[in-house]
Structure 1
Amino acid sequence: MLNSGNNYKLQDDNYTKTLSESTKRAYMKDIKDFFGVVDLTSITIEQIRNVNLTTSQEFKQRLEDEGKSTSTINRKLTALSNFYRYLCRRDVGIMEYNPFLSEEGTVRMYQDKRYSNTRCLTVDEVKRLLKAIENDDAILQLRNTIIVLALATTGMRRAELTHIRIGDIKIQDCKDVIELTQGTKGRKSRYVVVSDSLKVMIDKYIAMRGLDYTHKNVYLLANHAHNNFIHTNDILTESTIYRVIKSIADKAGIDASSISPNCLRNTFITRSRELGLDIQDIADMVGHTSISTTQRYFQTNRVISNSPADMFLGDNLNHSKKQT
């Protein structure tokens, strides 16, 4: 809603309906932060129209001076550009031009998109994560094992994982699958195959919670933080999954600062490629609309793995030993 005297109402779904819930929340926060308000109802049409190219460039420069990362700056500029693009629509008519468009002069920060900053875990590291869970309480052990296995063996996003309901677990072409319909980017549904080991854990976890597959609308993963309550139906949040992965990594003796849920997604993509799967098939499995996005994940690992640095170092060491 925009406060302009005539109570013009702005529905945020009109310009964020194709975004995932996590991206939508980030964009809405970026817009409110830019205008210095706590909700959209406080933004006036006058404030919106006072923004121009100079304002957008000064905003970008301020973010740089504050030491914001390239990806953060570009996300904020994109959020505002989407917002103003909506306001330029003829049926809205609040703005005549978008001050955050690159074509208008607002330059984005350069980011080398050939590589991903998310690292790929080794098979041994994944095993160490699973081993570290064994000391958890029974219900948490099952749930946390499902989290690690689901991320590492299906490549799903944590937003997708949190929104799985029991009814989404199905049999398709004689295989156990999960239909991802919520939390997906662009709200595009897809199926992911469930491994036998993951299905066993899911079955045990559902049974321990006193549920079965007739409880179709109940979320698969629950938050057991309150007194380890087994039968809770509180949905597990994305931030909780993030903290769970960090905690497990710490128990496993792996640098928690280098681990995130997306690392397990990266691991699935990279290992799938190493096994010889077609890149388009991998992109479809993980919900990428472009294979260039998929390539970024394993490109970094390939470059590092094929580096001749160790070979050069080995030759120099051998040469030094011969001279001594």
Structure 2
Amino acid sequence: MMATEARDAFLQWMETERRAADLTLVAYRGDLDRFLAFLTTHLGAEPDLGALAGLSLTDLRAWLAHEHAAALGGRRPTTQDRAARTRARRVSALRSFYRYLARYHGVDNPAPGLLATPRTRRPLPRPLPQAQALEVPEGVSDIAHTPMAQVRDGALFMLLYGCGLRISEALTLDVRDLDQAGTLGDGTKGDGVLRIRGKGGKERMVPVLPQVMQALLRWRGVHPLPQPDAPLFVGVRGGRLQAGIAQRAMRTWRHMAGLPEHATPHALRHSFATHLMEGGADLRVIQDLLGHASLSTTQRYTLADEARLMDVWTRAHPHATDTPPDTAR
């Protein structure tokens, strides 16, 4: 098998088995494309699985050095922190690729695991203020081109903010998932809880607020393909709605409403967590609702709130603008 075939199989596996986010798949494909292109020049021929198995730590470092030199050469502007994050992502892509090769193709090469991963600063979440977050579902639905899309988009964005879901998690839901949580066709009540399939196929149970459920059931009532195995959110052709379409809809409304660039579907997830924390919710509860494997990931919302409080303090406290008295005599 050629390395390019293995790359395609790996990305397909990441999408279907690992349920990787669309942006992760795009980034990993770009990194592996550059890696294999470098190897073709570095080795003098297009690599196959045998060539991948025989690469040394020096070979892998040579590729990372080549990419770093290309960035410094002016191909794209960079900062120290951005360069570190880019290198960390490339190392992660390589390690994931080689773990897949070891598991499914017998390629056992320890070199990727020996690559040093630079330490990076994780950006703090950037939530929307509560008033703006509440406006998103109606605002996005108002600019939809068809009545069906208006109801669909209103329900989708109500779900993202009301339950703190990733856009990929919301779009993998099927009609049966809603039926189990809401009111079924025979009028019986569901349990009011959605079963969410998150990263790595991990499942969690997320309660649905009545207002969110009402929006979802309104969409269920006009759904063009209401059979249980159909996607809950569908596009104009009846297939599963693509994340890019939802992101573009919010981007269009964001520009119309004059919101900042970080007002994205994922910002609604940040807003969900931040507003719960501001309301006194326990950090462990927020961790469970978001599906974070580590509490340290959830604790970023605490840091973000501290940064917001400090900003409010420096702008509002009288001492923040006072000129220090001249004590010299």
Question: TM range, normalised to the smaller chain?
Answer: 0.7 to 0.9
147, 155, 163: which one aligns with 2:164: 155
Identify the range of structure 1 (202-211 vs 268-277) with the bigger mean alpha-carbon deviation.
Answer: 202-211
Question: Any conservation in 1 of the 2:225–2:238 contact (CA below 8 Å)?
Answer: no
> Which sections of structure 1, spanning at least 5 residues, go unmatched?
225-231
Change (3 A) 1:131 1:156: closer
Offset, 1:292? 0.6
Give the corresponding residue for 2:195. Answer: 179
Q: 1:210 deviation in Å? A: 4.3
Shift of 1:158: 0.8
Query: Hey, what does 1:222 align to over in structure 2?
Result: 234
Residue 247 of structure 2 corresponds to residue 249 of structure 1:
no
- Aligned-pair CA distance for 1:159: 0.8
Structure 1 pair 139–291 and aligned structure 2 pair: CA distance change class (3 A): same
Match of 1:235 in 2: 240
Q: Tell me the distance in 1 between the aligned counterparts of 2:319 and 2:11.
A: 61
- Letter of the aligned partner of 2:248 in structure 1? R
Query: Contact (CA 8 Å) 2:101, 2:107: kept in 1 or not?
Result: yes
| RMSD (CA atoms) | 3.4
How far the C-alpha of 1:309 sits from its partner, in A, is 1.9
- Cα–Cα, structure 1 residues 216 and 298, in superposed 2: closer, same or farther, change >3 Å? farther
Aligned residues of 1:155 and 1:269 also touching (Cα < 8 A): yes
**Taking structure 1 as reference, are residues 311 and 83 closer, same or farther at Cα in structure 2, changes over 3 Å only?**
same
1:30 is matched with: 31
Rounded to whole Å, the distance in 2 between the matches of 1:14 and 1:208 is: 33
**Residues 179, 190 of structure 1: 8 Å contact kept:** yes
**1:302 Cα deviation (Å)?**
2.3
CA drift at 1:63 = 3.6
* SS of equivalent to 1:198: helix
CA displacement, residues 25-73 of structure 1 (integer Å, 9 cap, x when unaligned): 6545533431139xxxx74034314532222223323444423654333
Q: How far did residue 82 of structure 1 move? A: 2.6
After TM superposition, the structure 1 stretch with the greater mean CA deviation from structure 2, 141-150 or 58-67, is 58-67
Pick aligned residue for 2:91 from 55, 77, 91: 77
> Helix, strand or coil for the counterpart of 1:12?
helix
Q: Is the 8 A contact 2:49 2:107 kept in 1?
A: yes
Q: Which amino acid aligns with 1:194?
A: V
Instruction: Say which SS state the counterpart of residue 20 (structure 1) adopts.
Output: coil
Q: Distance in 2 between matches of 1:28 and 1:239?
A: 17
Deviation of residue 117 (structure 1)?
4.0
Q: Distance in 1 between matches of 2:266 and 2:36?
A: 31
Say which SS state the counterpart of residue 181 (structure 2) adopts: strand
Q: Name the counterpart of 1:227.
A: none
Deviation track 1:187-225 (CA, whole Å, cap 9, x = no partner) reads 01122222222222222222223454xx1111111113x
Which of 127, 131, 155 does residue 120 from structure 1 map onto? 127
CA offset digits 1:212-255 (Å, max 9, x no partner): 4xx1111111113xxxxxxx422111222221221221222212
Q: Is the 8 A contact 2:137 2:155 kept in 1?
A: no
Q: Match of 1:171, as an amino acid?
A: A
User: Shift in Å at residue 174 of structure 1?
Assistant: 6.4
Structure 2: gaps spanning 5 or more residues? 39-45, 72-77, 183-188, 325-329
Shift of 1:316: 5.8
Q: 2:10 aligns with which of 12, 15, 29?
A: 12
Matches within 5 A, 1:56-75: 56-65=60-69, 66=71, 67=78, 69-75=83-89
Which residue number in structure 1 is paired with residue 155 of structure 2?
A: 146
1:15/1:82 contact within 8 Å kept: no
Q: Secondary structure at the match of 1:156?
A: coil
Q: Give 1:144's aligned amino acid.
A: D
Query: Structure 2-normalised TM-score?
Result: 0.76
For 1:179 and 1:139, the matched residues in 2 are separated by: 25
Code of the aligned partner of 2:273: I
Q: What are the Cα deviations for residues 59-115 of structure 1, in whole angstroms up to 9, with x where unaligned? A: 3234444236543331221121133345557x95534x42222xx3x22122124xx
Residues 264-323 of structure 1, C-alpha deviations (whole Å, 9 max, x = no match): 1111111111222221211111111111111123422322223442246x4364659xxx
Alpha carbons of 1:9 and 1:309: their partners in 2 closer, same or farther (altered >3 Å)? closer
What is the TM-score normalised by the length of structure 1? 0.77
Which residue does 2:43 correspond to in 1?
Answer: none
Q: Which of the pair is proportionally richer in helix? A: 2
Indicate whether 1:110 and 2:119 are aligned: yes
